């Protein structure tokens, strides 16, 4: 018999769900081809425009974020088109796989995990590939904790005929992403990240430039055909059966984000992520991100020598009730990832670092107990605003 352990979810998605949002999902379901649902849907469309910072329509798909990645490619590109993939982690590699699945002509700029592609390098590759139709990019690379310089890369791509297609799955809603102002052509996001609802919805918006490409696109498409969604728009409905309950939850979640104000939501994520990073470093651990920009959503940490990296997430979950993520693919056992997005505040910093300290102690790692909490607290005292 042990003491009570309260469960906390600190994965980089899915994230914990606010009680108000859970309540929304417990309401009776209704039919989706009704005026009742149209009202819910129109509300969601408007809310998403606010979070995406766009005047364009944001389509809601019943899929995980990868479905929206698929939709981004198949709706805007054509057979044999040349695309440039910026790959510096597992999800950049996913863009590459999707593009290759459609037999596109793929030019990849690859960086080692933990690093990132610079805007100047993007400029250079576009100069040597003037026929490129699109640049495919992660904003926040969830597998490594790296954030790309989206604002500057947007400036570079905007000057060309190519579209900028951005995976904002773990950045939209927790980092600054200004679709219209920055000139992003296709932006996608997913429900189980900053939107604080369960997995199952993805969101995608297209600029005027991307819509011109959509007119000419000849890649095969059916379920993710955005022209079908466009047709359904005028009837205030969706082309296929929507995730009714999840869209109800989405509205409640966006209501909470609006109440806080998007700027404050982003600031909260920025401060929490900085506090986590400083706390981790205080323990003598190294951050996996070697780039100048860190993700606001997730912090990747190198496993110290002599410690079994696979044990860190296991012990944190099974013994201390704190669910984090391990490394993916080749990073398995080499890093662990602390998720801090969505329904997180100052208290979560304490819980996460405390569980990490207990776990490291169990694994025989030497450090000064409580130091990570004290250092993180300094950041919070100085920068967390109420």
Comparing C-alpha atoms, which of 263, 256, 250, 257 is closest to residue 42?
A: 250
Say how far apart CA 103 and CA 154 lie, in whole Å.
25
351, 335 in Cβ contact below 8 A?
no
- Dmax of the chain from CA atoms? 67
Q: What order of strands is seen across the sheet that includes strand 58-61?
A: 58-61, 202-206, 186-190, 163-167, 134-138, 82-87, 105-110
Three-point CA angle 38, 71, 214, nearest 5°: 90
252 phi and psi angles, rounded to 5 deg: -65, -40
pLDDT at position 330: 87
Distances 184 to 85, 107, 150, 164, 262 between C-alpha atoms, Å: 15, 20, 9, 6, 19
Residues 157-191 have pLDDT tens digits of 999 999 999 999 999 999 999 999 999 999 999 99
pLDDT at position 386: 87
User: For each successive 10 residues of the chain (386 residues), what is the average pLDDT?
Assistant: 92 97 97 97 98 98 98 98 97 97 98 98 98 98 98 98 98 98 98 98 98 98 98 97 98 98 98 98 98 98 96 98 94 97 98 98 97 98 94
Q: Looking at the whole model, is its pTM more than 0.85?
A: yes
95, 136 in Cβ contact below 8 A?
yes
Q: Which domains does the chain have, with CATH numbers?
A: 8-15+261-383 (3.90.1150.10), 19-259 (3.40.640.10)
pLDDT at position 373: 98
pLDDT at position 252: 98
Q: What order of strands is seen across the sheet that includes strand 325-326?
A: 298-302, 335-339, 325-326
pLDDT at position 192: 98
């Amino acid at each position: 018999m042990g003491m009570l352990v309260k469960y906390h979810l600190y994965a980089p998605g899915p994230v914990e769900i606010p009680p108000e949002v859970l309540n929304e999902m417990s309401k009776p379901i209704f039919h989706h081809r009704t005026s009742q649902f149209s009202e819910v849907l129109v509300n969601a469309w408007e809310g998403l425009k606010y979070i995406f910072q766009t005047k364009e329509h944001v389509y809601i798909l019943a899929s995980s974020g990868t479905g929206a990645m698929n939709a981004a490619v198949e709706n805007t590109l054509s057979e044999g088109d040349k695309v440039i993939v910026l790959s510096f982690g597992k999800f950049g590699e996913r863009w590459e796989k999707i593009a290759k699945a459609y037999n596109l002509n793929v030019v990849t700029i690859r960086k080692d995990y933990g690093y990132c592609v610079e805007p100047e390098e993007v400029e250079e590759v576009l100069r040597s590939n003037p026929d490129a139709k699109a640049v495919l990019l992660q904003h926040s690379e969830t597998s490594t904790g790296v954030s790309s310089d989206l604002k500057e890369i947007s400036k570079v791509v905007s000057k060309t005929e190519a579209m900028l297609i951005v995976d904002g799955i773990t950045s939209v809603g927790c980092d600054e992403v200004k679709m219209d102002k920055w000139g992003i052509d296709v932006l996608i996001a997913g429900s189980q990240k900053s939107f604080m609802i369960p997995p199952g919805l993805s969101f995608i918006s297209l600029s005027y430039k991307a819509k011109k490409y959509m007119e000419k696109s000849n890649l095969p498409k059916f379920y993710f055909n955005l022209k079908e969604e466009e047709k359904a728009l005028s009837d205030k409905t969706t082309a296929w059966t929507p995730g009714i309950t999840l869209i109800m939850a989405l509205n409640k979640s966006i209501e909470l984000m609006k109440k806080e104000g998007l700027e404050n939501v982003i600031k909260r994520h920025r401060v929490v992520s900085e506090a986590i990073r400083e706390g981790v470093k205080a323990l003598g651990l190294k951050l996996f991100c070697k780039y100048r920009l860190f993700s606001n959503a997730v912090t990747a940490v190198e496993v110290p020598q002599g410690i079994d990296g696979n044990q860190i997430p296991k012990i944190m979950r099974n013994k201390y009730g704190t669910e984090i993520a391990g490394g993916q693919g080749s990073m398995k056992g080499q890093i662990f990832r602390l998720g801090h997005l969505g329904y997180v505040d100052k208290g979560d910093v304490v819980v996460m670092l405390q569980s990490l300290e207990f776990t490291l102690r169990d694994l025989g790692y030497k450090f000064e107990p409580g130091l990570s909490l004290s250092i993180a607290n300094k950041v919070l005292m100085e920068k967390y605003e109420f």
